[in-house]
Amino acid sequence: MQHLSIQPNPVPNPNEATTNTENVSKTTRLWTESFLRIIKSKTSFIGLCIIFILIITAILAPFIATHSPTEQTIVNRYQAPSAEHWLGTDELGRDIFSRIVYGTRISIQIGVISVGISMIIGVFLGAVSGYFGRWIDQVIMRVIDIVMAFPSILLAIALVAVLGPSLRNAMIAVGIVGIPQFARIVRSAVLSVKETEFVEAAHAIGARHGRVLMQHVLPNCLAPIIVQATLSIGTAILDAAGLSFLGLGAQPPRPEWGAMLSDGRAALQNAPWVATFPGLAIFFVVLGFNMFGDGLRDALDPRLKE
């Protein structure tokens, strides 16, 4: 006759469950407080509204635009703003309002892709440099110093000249130019975080460098990375518009704001609206991202909390 042994169910540790609940609650509370600080700040709230309008315009561009952005009607060239053409027409009779609306899609594409390139490469280089230090840090930082020695717009022009004028190559060039900012910010944050007690404890229990870096160091560097990414989007849009203004970015007939500025140079005296409205679009979008980035920095900085 076999004897059945019944194993008792393991009793959960109430202290461990309480600790996990407290950690989740603390994290949620911190992000909620940061969001409330952003909303309460007039500057960041205005920037957030501008960004929201930009995103909605890009999504609903076919429904917002009153005309085709590429349709040419020569007989309607250089028409002043009117009920039919809200912001007037350009040298080819294209509706400027519709081209600006569709241009928001290109601007968002430029900002996201360019900053994505900068952030991925810059975070990797900065994390490796700050964490391992020694000769690795020296080599990476000296390369970063060389890149930063060149004016950003001149370096971007040189890269596009090598790669060839196109919107894709302009985004790559702007992304490469933005790498040093991310690398330096992440390196500084990693140097501070890696000296903390919980990182030393992870090393003491035998955790590998990659695990420590990915699970303990970088998560505590997210705040400056997020702020830099937000501020860099506006800069990327501005740099790409500059390249398109010089004929090195988006090519006709794409409705890119920098290219529209370039097309309106010849008619500044007779038809100033051709260049004025695309310039205002660039101004407000860059201003929105900068205002929101400043508010985000203040909200995520624990030293500025009341």
Is 259 inside any structural domain? yes
Which residues pair with residue 89 across a beta bridge?
95
Domain total of the chain: 1
Is residue 87 a contact partner of residue 100, using CB atoms and an 8 Å limit? yes
d(CA 38, CA 298): 8
Residue 229 in domain: yes
280 domain residue, yes or no: yes
Q: Distance between CA atoms of 8 and 16, rounded to whole angstroms?
A: 20
CA–CA dist 54, 61 (Å, integer): 10
Helix (H, G, I), strand (E, B) or coil at 166: coil
Note whether residue 62 is domain-resident. Answer: no
Q: Is residue 75 one of the residues assigned to a domain?
A: no
The Cβ of residue 303 has, within 10 Å, a number of other Cβ atoms equal to 5
In a domain, 274, yes or no: yes
Structure tokens at 21: 């609940």
pLDDT at 4: 45
Return the C-alpha torsion angle 83, 85, 87, 90, nearest 10: -150
pLDDT of residue 62: 93
Q: What number of other Cβ atoms are within 10 A of residue 33's Cβ?
A: 12
Residue 201 falls inside a structural domain: yes
pLDDT of residue 49: 92
Question: How far is C-alpha 291 from the chain's CA centre?
Answer: 13
pLDDT, position 1: 45
Per-residue pLDDT of the chain (306 residues; tens, 9 = 90+): 444 444 444 444 544 444 445 444 555 666 677 667 777 778 888 999 999 999 999 999 999 999 999 999 889 899 999 999 999 999 999 999 999 999 999 999 999 999 999 999 999 999 999 888 788 889 999 999 999 998 888 999 999 999 999 999 999 999 999 999 999 999 998 888 887 777 777 767 777 777 777 877 888 888 889 889 999 999 999 999 999 999 998 888 889 999 999 988 888 888 999 999 999 999 999 999 999 988 888 777 655 554
Token readout for 166 is 């196109």
Is 74 part of a structural domain of the chain? no
Domain holding 263, by residue range, is 114-301
Amino acid residing at 10: P
Q: Are 65 and 103 in contact (CB under 8 A)?
A: no
Structure tokens at 247: 């004929």
Give residue for tokens 């508010």. Answer: 295
In one letter, which amino acid is 192?
Answer: S
What 8-state DSSP symbol labels residue 89?
Answer: B
pTM for the model: 0.84
CATH of the domain at 263: 1.10.3720.10
Query: Residue 89's closest CA among 271, 265, 283, 282?
Result: 271
Phi (first) and psi of residue 12, to 5 degrees: -65, 145
Report which of 303, 224, 302, 295 is spatially closest to residue 36, judged by C-alpha positions.
295
Q: Which two tokens stand for residue 113?
A: 């892709």
- 228 alpha-carbon distance from chain centroid: 8
Task: Determine the residue type at 55.
Answer: I
Q: Which two tokens stand for residue 109?
A: 């594409």
